[in-house]
Amino acid sequence: MHRPWPYPRVVGHRGAGTLTPENTLAGIRKAATMGFGGVEFDVMLSADKVPLLIHDETLDRTTSGRGSVAATPYARLASLDAGAWFSPEYRGERVPSFEEAGKLCAQLGLWANVEIKPARGFERETAAAVAKLALELWRAPPAPLLSSFEPVSLDAARAAAPGLERGYLTDRLAPGWDETARALGCVSVHCNSRYLTEAQADEVRSAGYWLLCYTVNEPAIARRLFSWGIDAIFTDRLDLIPPDFA
């Protein structure tokens, strides 16, 4: 069994979940202001290989831009508005670089789960860039936990920064998950709370992994998951599930 989970038990999803525009510095600040100790965010590469915070492969949903993130240089991405789509209050919010977000987390004393979110075809390259930069950004503990839905990204992250811990991220636990997570040297399993059963939670924890669930927005579900021994949850509703919930 691993050591007890040393990080926050309630983690802001994409920053401060649905309280602020996702994957922005405003979200990271909001989570800290509300007393949260950790945030999760998604990191992808621009065309010129700058790691930045965004969830979708296209700019359309969360920025004032259009088209593919992987085909757009960072200077252009950094000029876009990443807050107006959410509400007028956040107009002028930018697409942050991973460097800006990492420095802000360190400054605010926030732990981070950095989800490597490669655009298709850039799985290894994104992971290597993110892992290398994470090593530079986090010289003092607590180190971030890297995670990805892409096994090849986890493999590339390990090659680039073997000392950083990795989480195996999957929507549903499928047969063979343990072999894959073990082969990738993962310390944790992150899965969708919607599909997880209590028996699977037992299996994951008995196999020695920390277990994290996304995206948990109802207190009753959070309570049930914690009663199953889950280590941490990601939430969009930081207003409903406070940092000291578990």
Strands 38-45 and 51-53: antiparallel
Amino acid at 150: E
Q: Is residue 190 involved in binding ligand G3P (CB under 6 A)? A: yes
Q: Is residue 123 involved in binding ligand G3P (CB under 6 A)? A: no
Phi/psi of residue 51, nearest 5 degrees: -70, 130
Complex with ligand G3P: residue 76 or 200, whichever CB lies closer: 200
Complex with ligand G3P: residue 168 or 234, whichever CB lies closer: 234
In angstroms, the Cα distances linking 115 to 55, 60, 106, 118 are 9, 20, 17, 9
3 state DSSP class of 213: strand
| Active-site residue, selected from the candidate residues 5, 34, 47, 55 | 55
Which of 22, 81, 93, 115 is close enough to bind Mg ion by CB under 5 A? Answer: 115
| Active-site residue, selected from the candidate residues 9, 13, 29, 158 | 13
x/- string (CB under 6 A) for ligand G3P, residues 35-54?
Answer: -----x-x------------
Alpha carbons 103 and 110: distance in angstroms, whole number: 10
Alpha carbons 6 and 26: distance in angstroms, whole number: 26
Whether 13 is a known active-site residue: answer yes
Q: Is residue 115 involved in binding ligand G3P (CB under 6 A)? A: yes
Whether 55 is a known active-site residue: answer yes
CB of 143 closer than 8 Å to CB of 176: no
Q: Is residue 22 involved in binding Mg ion (CB under 5 A)? A: no
List residues near Mg ion by CB under 5 A: 42, 115
List residues near ligand G3P by CB under 6 A: 13, 40, 42, 55, 115, 147, 169, 190, 214, 234
